[in-house]
């Protein structure tokens, strides 16, 4: 099932690429100082045992995320927060640190890890 999802996502996102000519980035609001709590709250629903998770946050940086071609290709400007998470799996053992790319825009957080893999998330200078 995952392979079908990945193939579909690849087809959707491969039609969308960043333009070679970058326009000036609009104003990006300051990052909420409680962004780490927001990430923990978001990931609580994703993990099997969220209370055992160990988080390591990288430095937040300004970035842009572009929707896929079928979604309109709209660009969202916000903050990229690379987050390393080590959590327990269904057998009770730790899985090892895994990288999640969290993206903050319009006062919400979302997991942009897969979109980052397709080149739809970029850091701004």
In 3D space, the residue among 27, 122, 48, 37 whose CA is nearest the CA of residue 83 turns out to be: 37
For residues 58 and 84, what is the distance between their CA atoms, to the nearest angstrom? 8
Q: State phi, psi for 101 to the nearest 5 degrees.
A: -100, 110
The reply to whether 21 falls in a domain is no
For residues 13 and 118, what is the distance between their CA atoms, to the nearest angstrom? 7
pLDDT of residue 39: 96
Contact 79, 36 (CB under 8 A): no
The reply to whether 22 falls in a domain is no
Per-residue pLDDT tens over the stretch 50-82: 899 999 999 999 999 998 888 888 999 999 999
Q: How many domains does the chain have?
A: 1
pTM of this prediction? 0.75
Strands (E) located in 1-125: 49-57, 61-66, 75-88, 98-105, 108-111, 121-123
Domain interval for residue 100: 2-15+28-123
For residues 66 and 22, what is the distance between their CA atoms, to the nearest angstrom? 13
At residue 43, does pLDDT exceed 60?
yes
The reply to whether 11 falls in a domain is yes
The reply to whether 63 falls in a domain is yes
């Amino acid at each position: 099932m995952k392979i079908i999802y990945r193939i579909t996502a690849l087809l959707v996102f491969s039609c969308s690429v960043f333009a070679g000519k970058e326009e000036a980035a609009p104003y990006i609001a300051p990052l909420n100082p409680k962004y780490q709590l927001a990430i923990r709250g978001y990931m609580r629903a994703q993990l099997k045992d969220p209370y055992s998770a160990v988080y390591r946050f990288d430095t937040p940086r300004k970035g842009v995320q572009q929707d896929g071609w079928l979604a309109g290709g709209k660009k969202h400007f916000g903050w990229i927060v690379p987050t390393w998470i080590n959590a327990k799996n269904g057998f009770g053992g730790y899985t090892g640190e895994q990288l999640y790319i969290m993206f903050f825009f319009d006062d919400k957080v979302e997991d942009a890890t897969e979109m980052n893999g397709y080149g739809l998330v970029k850091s701004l200078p």
